[in-house]
Amino acid sequence: MELTGHDIDMEQAWQIAYCLPVMKVELAAEAAEKMKISRQYIADRMERGDVMYGVNTGFGAFSDVKISQADTIQLQKNLIRSHCTGVGQPFSKAESRAIMFLRANALARGHSGIRVDVVEKILEFLN
């Protein structure tokens, strides 16, 4: 199955979640190209020093605080850490697989600026 960023239905998500039938999920070439263009756009803006919310600024009440280029990696790590808490029971394997599949498909649209290799790693885990 090719991920395009579109064209996913509940049946496909269910099949991936429960591995029925066993199928390999791959990133479509067109989706990878859109993702590369989006990623380059972010890189170009970063190089120019443009201010981009959540990329090189704080969040929420700190959105007007510009983060230095040297500190942007730590900013992103801190964002992940701040969201690494949960409430309730952990997701089942099937739920986790469905979430990963749907997230990979959403990222494949090429609107987020995420690197292609991140989505490919998610798909590697699914496969």
pLDDT, mean of each 10-residue run, the chain (127 residues): 92 90 91 98 93 91 91 89 81 95 97 96 95
Task: Specify the pLDDT at position 87.
Answer: 74
Beta bridge partners of 54: none
Quickly name the fold that domain 2-83+116-126 has: Fumarase C; Chain B, domain 1 (1.10.275)
Q: Which of 14, 18, 41, 53 is catalytic?
A: 53
- Give the C-alpha distances (Å, rounded to integers) separating 27 from 7, 89, 99: 13, 31, 16
> Do 6 and 100 touch, CB atoms closer than 8 A?
no
pTM of the model: 0.84
The answer to whether 41 is a known catalytic residue is no
As to burial, measured by CB atoms within 10 angstroms (0-12 exposed, 13-18 middle, 19+ buried), residue 39 is: middle
